[in-house]
């Protein structure tokens, strides 16, 4: 039996809980995960990029050939470390299991939230009910295949220079992270480190992950997401640390109305990403066609909806149809989360679900799946035996 939700659905209210950090974990340069309990904020980088550095015309493509890049496969099989981290948190820090109706990655909720404004992007998720909670991940096999096909298509249909340009755009985002952050607070970092940052090899293995609790309407969520860096300091009560976090982004300098509208779409997605986790600030590095960093702009997450709303280009008739609206996106998100929460029996562990967004029909559909996602370790696998055993023992 299938259930559907049209993308025109909106919740009536958008009562939101302020997100709070529960705990953090990290991935190191070898791809190993560490649950570091209280010390893990030591691994959170700090933002440091004075204007005088930007004036030096930093090259965001240098070192491209030496990019230490994690494979999509490895990056996607990362549900297990989250479960391990939850297990350690439950064992070492709290008496009970972590509270929440839905447990997933922030990136997945960002994708769901932005569907009405990216209606051409398909999405395939897997939902596994277990122990009164819904665990949600990408349907990794489908998602990996889609990404690979997309990459092959670009490679085959565009000239080699164009393909390389696209790859360099991706690289420049990680390069910006490397040149805009320092590993410790400024007072603890040597001048030498700061002055040679532009030569540091770039990788996307290292991640600092924050696991937070939040809620919309009656539904409680636990979300895990990557945090790029810290603005100033991590407060003593680390549950209040989210507003001190920063999301780093790069984009092309804006020099036409069309580019501005494009940027606004990106800014909207970034807002979803940060808003969902309570990340306080966004820093955009703007680069030119030669990948030279030209200027840097800082946004407070909470001011972004206003900026988007007040953009004069939006009142032009031809732009009305595609106009992004943060409040409406939030109401859509509320509708999706409430629908999922009501449609699935969280205690019936015999059924797993597929949640698909179909870009042709423009609906979200939920269907029971015969595939075994519960307990499978490989692609698409979600819950692992150790986690299930841990929770089962807790119940006794
Ligand atoms: O299927 C899985 N098991 C999933 C794993 C689903 C969702 C996430 N993850 C893992 C990935 O390692 C992901 O990188 O968790 C990490 C963080 O999750 P998230 O914060 O929920 O992811 P998202 O919000 O989509 O992206 C945050 C950052 C990105 O920053 P930008 O500025 O590009 O939004 O995570 C990084 C990237 O820095 N990231 C990746 N790094 C390497 N390979 C990838 C990727 N494919 N995707 C995102
Ligand atoms: Ca980023």
Tens-digit pLDDT profile for residues 321-335: 678 999 999 999 999
From atom 35 of ligand 1, which residue's Cα is the shortest distance away?
226
Confidence of residue 319 (pLDDT cuts 50, 70, 90): low
- Ligand 1 nearest atom to the CA of residue 27, by list position: 12
> Is ligand 1 within 6 A of the CB of residue 387?
no
Q: For residues 374 and 351, what is the distance between their CA atoms, to the nearest angstrom? A: 9
Mean pLDDT of 55-70: 96
- pLDDT tens per residue, range 207-234: 999 999 999 999 999 999 999 999 999 9
From atom 30 of ligand 1, which residue's Cα is the shortest distance away?
226
Q: How far is CA 39 from CA 44, 91, 122, in A?
A: 10, 17, 39
DSSP state of 202: P
- Ligand 1 nearest atom to the CA of residue 249, by list position: 32
| Res 371: pLDDT | 65
pLDDT above 60 (res 160): yes
Mean pLDDT of 118-137: 95
> Is ligand 1 within 6 A of the CB of residue 78?
yes
Pocket test for ligand 1, best of 19, 31, 67, 75 (most atoms within 8 A of CB): 75
Q: CB-hemisphere CA count at 13 Å for 193?
A: 14
- Ligand 1 nearest atom to the CA of residue 69, by list position: 42
> Is ligand 1 within 6 A of the CB of residue 24?
no
Mean pLDDT of 355-377: 81
Average pLDDT over all residues of the chain: 92
Mean pLDDT of 372-377: 51
| Res 375: pLDDT | 47
> Is ligand 1 within 6 A of the CB of residue 271?
no
With residue 169 as reference, give the H or E element that holds it.
Answer: helix 160-180
> Is ligand 1 within 6 A of the CB of residue 23?
no
By the 8 A CB rule, do 225 and 210 touch?
Answer: yes
> Is ligand 1 within 6 A of the CB of residue 225?
yes
| Res 8: pLDDT | 95
Q: For residues 298 and 37, what is the distance between their CA atoms, to the nearest angstrom? A: 30
Confidence of residue 66 (pLDDT cuts 50, 70, 90): very high
> Is ligand 1 within 6 A of the CB of residue 107?
yes
Mean pLDDT of 169-181: 98
- Ligand 1 nearest atom to the CA of residue 78, by list position: 3
pLDDT above 70 (res 374): no
- Ligand 1 nearest atom to the CA of residue 111, by list position: 25
Ligand nearest to the CA of 123: 1
From atom 46 of ligand 1, which residue's Cα is the shortest distance away?
72
- pLDDT tens per residue, range 30-43: 999 999 766 678 89
């Amino acid at each position: 039996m299938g259930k559907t939700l049209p993308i025109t659905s909106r919740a009536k209210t958008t009562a939101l809980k302020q997100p709070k950090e529960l705990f953090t974990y990290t991935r190191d340069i070898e791809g190993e995960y560490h649950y570091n309990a209280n010390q893990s904020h030591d691994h959170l980088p700090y933002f440091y990029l004075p204007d005088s550095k930007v004036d030096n015309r930093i090259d965001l493509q240098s070192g491209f050939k030496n990019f230490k890049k994690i494979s999509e496969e490895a990056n996607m099989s990362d549900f297990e470390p989250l479960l391990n981290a939850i297990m350690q948190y439950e064992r070492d820090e709290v008496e009970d299991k972590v509270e929440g109706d839905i447990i997933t990655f922030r990136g997945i909720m960002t994708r769901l939230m932005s569907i009405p404004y990216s209606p051409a992007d398909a999405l395939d998720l897997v939902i596994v009910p277990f122990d009164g909670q819904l665990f949600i991940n990408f349907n990794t096999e489908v998602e990996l295949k889609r990404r690979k096909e997309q990459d092959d298509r670009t490679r085959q249909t565009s000239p080699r220079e164009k393909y390389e340009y696209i790859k360099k755009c991706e690289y420049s985002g990680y390069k910006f992270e490397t040149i805009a952050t320092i590993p410790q607070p400024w007072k603890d970092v040597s001048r030498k480190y700061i002055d040679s940052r532009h030569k540091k090899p770039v990788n996307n293995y290292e991640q600092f992950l924050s696991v937070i609790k939040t809620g919309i309407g009656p539904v409680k969520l636990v979300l895990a997401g990557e945090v790029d860096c810290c603005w100033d300091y991590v407060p003593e009560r680390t549950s209040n640390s989210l507003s001190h976090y920063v999301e780093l982004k790069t984009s092309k300098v804006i020099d036409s109305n069309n580019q501005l509208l494009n940027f606004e779409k990106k800014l909207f997605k970034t807002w979803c990403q940060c808003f969902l986790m309570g990340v306080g600030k966004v820093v955009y590095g703007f680069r030119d066609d030669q990948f030279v960093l030209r200027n840097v702009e800082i946004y407070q997450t909470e001011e972004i909806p206003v900026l988007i709303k007040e953009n004069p280009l939006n009142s032009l008739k031809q732009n009305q149809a595609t106009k992004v609206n943060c409040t409406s996106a939030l109401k859509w998100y509320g509708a999706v989360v409430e629908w999922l929460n009501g449609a699935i029996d969280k205690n019936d562990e015999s059924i797993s679900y597929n949640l698909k967004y179909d870009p042709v029909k423009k609906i979200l559909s939920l269907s029971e799946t015969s595939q075994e996602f519960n307990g499978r370790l490989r692609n698409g696998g979600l819950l692992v035996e150790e986690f299930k055993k841990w929770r089962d023992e807790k119940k006794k």
